[in-house]
Amino acid sequence: MRTWLVRLGIGTGALLALVLVLALVIPLFVDWNRYKSQIADAFHDSSGLDLVMGGDLSVSIVPSLSVTLRDISVSNPPGSDEPLLASADALSVRLSWLPLLRGAVDISRIDLVRPTILVEKRADGRMGWEATKNASAPAAGTEPPADTASAGAEKPQSASSVPDLGIASLRLKDGTVRYVDRTDGTSHTLSDVNVEASIWLVSAPSSVRGTFTWNGLPLSVDASVERLLGDNNGAFKARLGLGSEKDLVVLDGTMTGTRPKTPVSGSVTISARHAGQTLREVFQALKVPAPALPEATDGPFRASATVQADPGSLALNDLQLTLGETRFDGTANLRTGKTPALTLSLEAAHVDLDSLLAFPATAPAKGAPARPGTPDAASSAPGPEGPEAPAQKASPLALPTGFEATVSLAAAEALYRAQPIRNVQINARLTSAGTLDISTLSADLPGSTGVRAKGNVTNTKDGATLALGIGAASGDPRALLGWLGVDLSSIPADRLRTLSLQTVVSGTPADIRIRDTRLALDEITVTGAADFRPGPRPALGLRLAADTVNMDAWLPGMAKGTGATSTTSATGTPKDSASRTAGSAPAAPLLAGLGMLNGLDANVDVSVGTLKALESTFSGVALKGTLSDGVLTLAKPSGYSRGIGGTSLSLSGGLRGFGGEPVFEDTALTVTAPGADALFAIARRFDSSLQTPEGLPEGPVSVGATLKGTLARLGIGAQVSIGGVRLGASGVLDTGDKSQTATHDLDIRLEAQDLTRLARLAGSTYTPAGPTGALKATSKVRVHMTAKGAPARIELPDLNVTLGPNALGAALVVNLAAERPDITGSLAIDSLNLDALLPAGGKSGASSASSGGKHGANPGPGSKGGKGAEHWSSAPLGLEAALGALDADIGVKARSVTVADMTLNDLDTRVVLRNAALSIPSLRGGFHGGTIDGALSVLTRPGTSATLNASVANVVVSQFLESTAEGGGIMAARLDLKAAGESTRALVESLNGAGTLDLGKLDLTLRKGGKGGVLRSVLEVISALNGLGGGAGAGANPVTVSSVFSIANGVVSLEPPVSLTSPLYSGAMGGSIDLPRWAISTSGDFTLSPTFLGALARKLPVKIPESVTVGVSGSLDSPNISLGSLGLGGGSLEDGLKAGISDKVGERLERKVDKVLPGAGGLVNELLGGKERRQPDNAPATPGNGDTGDAGDGTGDTGASTAPRDGQGAEDRPSGRPALEDAARGLLRGLGR
């Protein structure tokens, strides 16, 4: 028995060994490769794809059935851009024998080595593995079997109905999976795929574990489920590792119920040690730019919740979100169905917004473009032209529809800017129609500030449209603004007491509107509205109106102005220029930093009813304008209607060039004021040292300017009107380019009602001696600038001036680059009265010319005859400073010039001023019917000296004397004079020289009112002697005067004596004229002609002397005249001289003769050409005509006697006796014929 059993065992073992040997040996002798084509055909028939096996096919049956394919690939169907759908180095599949013997399939292991799989979405939307021909598709016209047709119908399956299929071990080694989307060009890659999985449908748990890299992002997975299918409870777990930090997403729960409506319950946890780093790696894997992440994300993050889910809902309870010190607790519920709905509620005790909003400071990468809005001086410069990309019109933002959501967010405290925001509450509800109702939006900010808002967002054709009412009130705006980082150091402590705001914000993201705005800040109330349209070219509309704004109270430093701060350095140069040095960087463009305005369009209307600023009150303040395409256009009423000192300001016109140099487009500014002091009042707000000049003309003031062009070439139009003076300028200020200096071309216009107003405007006390009339001056002006910006040369090619009846024209060039201003050119005068232009009150204070008559002296106030010290001024002339201020060389031509009551016609001269020396080398012209020729030289270094050489010929004496004489006479004279001194008196006292005087055919009658003078004194004598002949009459008694004189130290010596010859008399006068003392002392004997004496002897019962001694002495203004032993003292003859001796002299002769021959005085008076002086007995004597002393005492009558002039009234004369004077008058008339 035992032997049989041994034999049976040995036999069985041998059989088994034989079977094993056969199992090992037989596969070695089988050519398995011949089955590759059959396998490929079967694969193609089932999938429509081609399978290529480049390596050997091997089969092993011990210990399990194992099939291995090497170097395999699956080709893509036609139309794919890549040839292979998949490939692998090797594919090995192992099956267990025992399950096969029972009819079951048990795959114990699948190994896939270095697989490469392409998941491709073609441009037509089909996946790459879709074959053009599906071999397994049923033939056309056939119906699938009933059981097959109904196989797709979903039926609940029990665990017993599910086949127990599984893979004990699935291994992928070094795999690669590529996804390519040809529709949008995106691609993703899973590389380094190493996965091991165990998959069982029912009988055993399933699990997967592995690592791979997704677009460079390391990933790991470890998941398990207790049972994939079946009715029993199944627990599941999953852990997903992300990134280099291996952050985790953990799911842990159970499933109960029957597929597919299996309820799920469990928990989910997401934890990250450095969430920010992981997020950046995820964005990089997604191939999208990573947004800036707050610094808080670099710390730990954790989210957890319990999960309850079924096919109709998902609930997250005990939801916790923790980031840094911030933690939210709440719930989230999602209901599925026809209208999904989400309910989210989160609460936090403390939210650290400072941490959540703190972003790291990162510099832009080299070469990266600057952020939009960064000011750039070149931002306004045009770039190279090129094709523009077609504008992509963004779809309007809209709220989702068909979905409902309710959100409630609350935070007891949110820390922002290191201070808490309390009671933050947000409640909102989204309806399925796409309407978001915001029922609560509130917070309590620092500074006892409450903010509340309520409104909605609705979908319109323009997208999501907001309508939100906002209200805010603050009990401490200073604390609120300080919390926001506003610098309040310049705001006084009593400001920012209360604040309230009400407004409505509406519109879409493409059109934001602010309406019904009312802001109250302390005593200021502002109302208005605004529109804002963001986009590539934002647009802003702003309208604000304030009632009263007290800027002085808000910015007290503004009221002090800048006057306390000097604008010059210690060296007297402007501080801005003193701070610059040669070679320093050029100044930034005037509008640098405003380049962002080129990309903004705006319409602004701002007004303030009353503005208090600069310690003044401004009314009607307004700024109204538009900004379009980089051009700012100001419109009226920009400016203010009433301001400092009653001024008003108006602004208009355009301005562009923001970000660089300004470009003006008819930019206009106009300032009006009731007087000049108002303008200085404005200036004193900025420089307190400025004072209003005294004597400025009164009247309204207007200043206006219009600018056009760039600062390099600026068109300007300016007008100034002040107190009857108007100045206008228009033209171009051309600063040139780098290769040339600036040149300015202007047209200048000046108008003044009179010169006094113009002088007061210039700060001068100058007042002309006489009325000048209105001034009008026009000229083109070209100004050449130096490289440093200073005027170098001024050209006035066509200066035209009219001053009342005076007119002149000039062409002048002023060289300012020389040591002193140098004026050259020509002057053409039509008519000019210099006497009216000289300062009032005398010529230089003490001149020899009269201000009221012809060629007489005008003594100073209180001057008495013969007192030269009071006639000539001892004040320094200051000629060196005056003449040294500039150089000049000007040719002058004039039709008529009047100076010192002398008129020059057809004047042709040249004025040269060099090194404080004045020279007139030649002066020629007409002179009162004759000619004048002369030269003048004035030197001031060393000391003041003058030389004059002048001659006149054929001068009509009556024209020369004009208002003080009439009749005939020709004059010729020559003067050669020199003088030196620093005052007028010194020049007169040092006057030396010689001259000649010739008067021919002289037959004059002197009028009353003429002032004294050298020539007048001579003519007084001649007129007196002519009176002996009964007066002049149409050349009846012409006189010839000839004199050669010399001058030494201001004293004119009439030696040899002056010769006077007339048909009535002849003689000569010698003596001197003392100009420093303004006195004369001359005398001479004159012989009466026999004819004249004979006529007198026949008619008069008195003896007439054959000769008369004439003396002239005393002041040149009022000389004393004596004839023989009869002195004629007491003042000027100008009051009575006409055709003979004056009435005054006649009266004095009459009285003196009456003392010797009572009753004969009247006859002598008549014989000498006097007039009847009879007065009633009770008539008072004319003041000044009495005689209280001897003749020649130099005094006149000072009393007011009531006695008859000759001691006898007219009624006491004997009846029938003709009056002696009546007879004498007839006699003289006969002799005069």
Average pLDDT, the chain: 75
The whole-number pLDDT of residue 107 equals 78
pLDDT for residue 886 is more than 90: no
Please indicate, yes or no, if residue 784 is contained in any of the structural domains: no
Residues 41 and 179 in one domain: yes
Mean pLDDT of all residues in 474-480: 92
The whole-number pLDDT of residue 577 equals 43
Among 238-242, 266-270, 399-403, 598-602, top mean pLDDT goes to 598-602
Distance CA(124)–CA(979), nearest Å, equals 117
The whole-number pLDDT of residue 348 equals 92
Q: What are 313's strand-pairing partners? A: 310, 335
Q: Is 643 left (phi over 0), alpha (psi -120 to 50) or beta?
A: beta
Confidence grade of residue 888 (pLDDT, cut at 50, 70, 90): very high
The whole-number pLDDT of residue 847 equals 38
Q: Which two tokens stand for residue 1182?
A: 């004319």
How many degrees, rounded to 5, is the angle at CA 312 between CA 306 and CA 316?
Answer: 15
User: Is the model more confident about 372 or about 1099?
Assistant: 1099
CA atoms within 13 A on the CB side of 655: 21
Mean pLDDT of all residues in 282-298: 82
User: Is the model more confident about 519 or about 818?
Assistant: 519
The residue from 173, 204, 235 where one domain ends is: 204
The whole-number pLDDT of residue 846 equals 36
pLDDT for residue 598 is more than 50: yes
Mean pLDDT of all residues in 204-208: 81
Among 66-75, 739-748, 848-857, top mean pLDDT goes to 66-75
pLDDT for residue 616 is more than 70: yes
Please indicate, yes or no, if residue 519 is contained in any of the structural domains: no
Q: Choose the weakest-confidence range: 301-305, 564-568, 1215-1219.
A: 1215-1219
Residues 6 or more apart whose CB falls under 8 angstroms from that of 1108 comprise 1025, 1028, 1065, 1085, 1086, 1088, 1123, 1124
Please indicate, yes or no, if residue 75 is contained in any of the structural domains: yes
Domain count for the chain, please give it: 3
Q: Choose the weakest-confidence range: 334-348, 442-456, 544-558.
A: 544-558
Q: Scan for tokens 């054929």, then name that residue.
A: 954
Q: Of all residues in the chain, what percent carry a pLDDT higher than 70?
A: 70
pLDDT for residue 843 is more than 60: no
The whole-number pLDDT of residue 504 equals 95
Please indicate, yes or no, if residue 612 is contained in any of the structural domains: no
Distance CA(1006)–CA(1141), nearest Å, equals 10
φ, ψ at 1228 (rounded to 5°): -65, -35
Distance CA(662)–CA(422), nearest Å, equals 49
Q: Choose the weakest-confidence range: 64-73, 208-217, 547-556, 1021-1030.
A: 1021-1030
Q: Give 633-677 as a DSSP string.
A: EE-TT-EESB-GGG-EEEEEEEEE-TTSS-EEEEEEEEEEESSHH
The whole-number pLDDT of residue 370 equals 38
User: Is the model more confident about 926 or about 14?
Assistant: 926
Cis peptide before 1180 (omega within 30 of 0): no
Are the C-beta atoms of residues 121 and 182 closer than 8 Å to each other? yes
The whole-number pLDDT of residue 1039 equals 84
The whole-number pLDDT of residue 857 equals 36
Residues 199 and 339 in one domain: no
Mean pLDDT of all residues in 231-246: 73
The whole-number pLDDT of residue 606 equals 93
pLDDT for residue 104 is more than 80: no
Mean pLDDT of all residues in 603-622: 90
Q: pTM here?
A: 0.57
E-strand stretches of 551-615: 601-613
Q: Is 755 left (phi over 0), alpha (psi -120 to 50) or beta?
A: alpha
3-class secondary structure, 406: strand
Please indicate, yes or no, if residue 242 is contained in any of the structural domains: no
The whole-number pLDDT of residue 1102 equals 58
Q: Which of 964, 959, 961, 968 is nearest to 1008 (CA)?
A: 964
Residues 983 and 1128 in one domain: yes
Mean pLDDT of all residues in 413-433: 92
CA atoms within 13 A on the CB side of 663: 10
CA atoms within 13 A on the CB side of 614: 15
User: Is the model more confident about 342 or about 576?
Assistant: 342
The whole-number pLDDT of residue 162 equals 52
pLDDT for residue 94 is more than 60: yes
3-class secondary structure, 1047: strand
The whole-number pLDDT of residue 1098 equals 64
Confidence grade of residue 776 (pLDDT, cut at 50, 70, 90): very high
For residue range 858-884, what is the model confidence (pLDDT) as tens digits?
Answer: 333 333 344 555 678 888 878 888 788
Confidence grade of residue 1214 (pLDDT, cut at 50, 70, 90): very low
pLDDT for residue 796 is more than 50: yes
Please indicate, yes or no, if residue 868 is contained in any of the structural domains: no
Mean pLDDT of all residues in 828-850: 63
pLDDT for residue 1228 is more than 50: no
Angle between helical axes of 1090-1099 and 1220-1232 (0-180°, round to 10): 150
pLDDT for residue 192 is more than 70: yes
Q: Which of 211, 15, 177 is nearest to 87 (CA)?
A: 177
pLDDT for residue 76 is more than 70: yes
Distance CA(1105)–CA(1088), nearest Å, equals 8
For residue range 975-1030, what is the model confidence (pLDDT) as tens digits?
Answer: 999 999 988 889 999 999 999 999 888 776 766 655 545 666 667 667 666 655 55
Mean pLDDT of all residues in 953-969: 77
User: Is the model more confident about 566 or about 667?
Assistant: 667
The residue from 456, 476, 509 where one domain ends is: 509
Please indicate, yes or no, if residue 1172 is contained in any of the structural domains: yes
CA distances from 1 to 7, 14, 73, 1195 (A): 10, 20, 61, 202
The whole-number pLDDT of residue 976 equals 94
Q: Which of 960, 936, 1106 is nearest to 1019 (CA)?
A: 960
The whole-number pLDDT of residue 397 equals 73
pLDDT for residue 696 is more than 80: no
pLDDT for residue 2 is more than 90: no
Are the C-beta atoms of residues 836 and 773 closer than 8 Å to each other? no
Q: Give kind and range of the element (H or E) at residue 1143.
A: helix 1143-1156
The whole-number pLDDT of residue 581 equals 45
The whole-number pLDDT of residue 909 equals 92
φ, ψ at 1223 (rounded to 5°): -65, -45
Each as own residue / partner, the long-range contacts of residues 1204-1213 (CB below 8 Å, 24 or more positions apart, any chain) are 1204/1175, 1204/1177, 1205/1147, 1205/1150, 1205/1151, 1205/1173, 1205/1174, 1205/1175, 1205/1181, 1206/1150, 1206/1151, 1206/1154, 1206/1159, 1206/1161, 1206/1162, 1207/1154, 1207/1158, 1209/1176, 1209/1177, 1210/1174, 1210/1177, 1211/1177
Domain that holds residue 183: 6-130+163-204
pLDDT for residue 935 is more than 90: yes
Q: Which of 1155, 1157, 1139 is nearest to 1191 (CA)?
A: 1155
Alpha helices, H only, 435-522: 477-483
pLDDT for residue 122 is more than 70: yes
The whole-number pLDDT of residue 255 equals 61
User: Is the model more confident about 494 or about 570?
Assistant: 494
How many degrees, rounded to 5, is the angle at CA 304 between CA 301 and CA 306?
Answer: 175
Residues 6 or more apart whose CB falls under 8 angstroms from that of 335 comprise 312, 313, 341, 342
Distance CA(438)–CA(1016), nearest Å, equals 109
pLDDT for residue 655 is more than 80: yes
SS (H, E, C) 20-83: HHHHHHHHHHCCHHHHHHHHHHHHHHHHCCEEEECCCEEEECCCCEEEEEEEEEEECCCCCCCC
User: Is the model more confident about 512 or about 310?
Assistant: 512
Among 928-932, 1185-1189, 1206-1210, top mean pLDDT goes to 928-932
Q: Is 1050 left (phi over 0), alpha (psi -120 to 50) or beta?
A: left
The whole-number pLDDT of residue 994 equals 95
Mean pLDDT of all residues in 1052-1079: 88
Q: Which two tokens stand for residue 394?
A: 């963004």
User: Is the model more confident about 789 or about 145?
Assistant: 789
User: Is the model more confident about 457 or about 864?
Assistant: 457
Distance CA(1203)–CA(972), nearest Å, equals 49
Distance CA(958)–CA(1010), nearest Å, equals 13
Mean pLDDT of all residues in 126-145: 53
User: Is the model more confident about 902 or about 1032?
Assistant: 902
User: Is the model more confident about 454 or about 848?
Assistant: 454
For residue range 806-824, what is the model confidence (pLDDT) as tens digits?
Answer: 888 999 999 988 888 899 9
Cis peptide before 387 (omega within 30 of 0): no
Q: Which of 628, 622, 687 is nearest to 655 (CA)?
A: 628
Please indicate, yes or no, if residue 408 is contained in any of the structural domains: yes
R_g of the chain computed on alpha carbons? 61
- Kind of pairing between the strands at 313-323 and 107-113: unpaired
Residues 957 and 1092 in one domain: yes
3-class secondary structure, 755: helix
pLDDT for residue 25 is more than 90: no
Q: Which of 86, 76, 181, 81 is nearest to 130 (CA)?
A: 76
Are the C-beta atoms of residues 722 and 749 closer than 8 Å to each other? no
Confidence grade of residue 149 (pLDDT, cut at 50, 70, 90): very low
User: Is the model more confident about 366 or about 674?
Assistant: 674
Q: Which of 291, 289, 293, 259 is nearest to 274 (CA)?
A: 293
pLDDT for residue 763 is more than 60: yes
Q: Give kind and range of the element (H or E) at residue 577.
A: helix 575-578
